[in-house]
Amino acid sequence: MGGLVYIHELIDIIGHNRARYVQHITANWVPIALEERNQRCLGVWATVGSTGAWPQVVNMWEFDGWAGLVANFEVELAGGRDQDPSLAEWWAQAASLRRGGVDRIVVAEPDTRGVEQLIADGVRGELYAHELLTVPQGRAPELLAAMAAEAAPAYGSFGIAEVGRYRVAMVNDSEVLALWAVPSWSAWAAFEHAWIDRADALARWRSAATALGADWRRQLLVDAPLSPLRIGRQPAPTDRRPLDEIS
C-alpha cells in the first residue's frame, strides 16, 4: 500500500469568489490538514477560463499511500458522520464561495515526485498544463509508460517539466491525469504551435498515444498565491488574511 495517493478536486466557484476561495483553502485549511491528517497540499490552481470551464479551481492533496488516504477518511467520517465537526466553521464559509465539483482518487506513478521533492528540485511553472487522458479500458498502464518514454522528453524540449503522472483509481484503467510545469507563456505558445503543426518534436508521443486509442483535454492553470510550488513550502497559519479583505 506504498507510493503516493492523491485526491484531485475540480471545484466550481460561485461568482467572483475565486480569490477568496483559494485563500480560504490554502491559508485556512492546509495547516489544519497537515496537523490533523498528514495531508499535504501539492497545489491549488485557478483554471484559465479561455481553455475550459470557468470559474474553477483545481486542488490536489497528497497522502502516503492508501493507508494515508484511509487515515484521512477515518478522521473525516468517524462514527458514520458525514463531516468532521472541527471543520464546521470552515465548511460554512466555503459553502458561500463554491457550489460543488468533481473529485478523483489518483495514484502516482512510482517515479512521480512528491510535493516536498518537487519543491527541493525547484519545479515551478509560470503556468501549468493539466491533461486528463482517456483510453479504452485496461490501457492506462500502457499510456503511462508511453508518457514517460515519449511525452516527457518531447515536452522537455520546450522547457516543460513533468510535475506528475497519475492513474485514476475507481475506473477501469481508462483514465490518466498528467500535470506539467510550463516555464513561460511563450514556451506554451511554441508548444501549442508545434502541436497543431504536428512537428517532429512531438511526433513520437502523438503516434504512441494514438496507437493506444488515447484522447485528452489539456487545460491551463495558474498558481494560487499560496500554492506550495509557488512559495516553496506548505502554507502556514501566519498566511491567514480576513476573506473580506480579498477582492
Q: What is the pTM of this model?
A: 0.93
The C-alpha cell of 65 is what? Answer: 499511500
Distance of CA 245 to CAs 20, 26, 29, 234, 240, Å?
Answer: 9, 16, 18, 22, 11
Give yes or no for residue 1 having a pLDDT over 50.
no
Yes or no: say if 9 and 101 are a contact pair by the CB < 8 Å rule. Answer: yes
- Local confidence band at 80 (pLDDT 50, 70, 90 cut-offs): low
Per the structure block, which three cell numbers stand in for 172? Answer: 477501469
Q: What is the mean pLDDT of residues 40-50?
A: 97
Domain spans, the chain? 4-108, 115-222
Q: Fold for domain 4-108?
A: Alpha-Beta Plaits (3.30.70)
- Assign a CATH topology to domain 115-222: Alpha-Beta Plaits (3.30.70)
Say if 4-108 and 115-222 have the same CATH topology.
Answer: yes
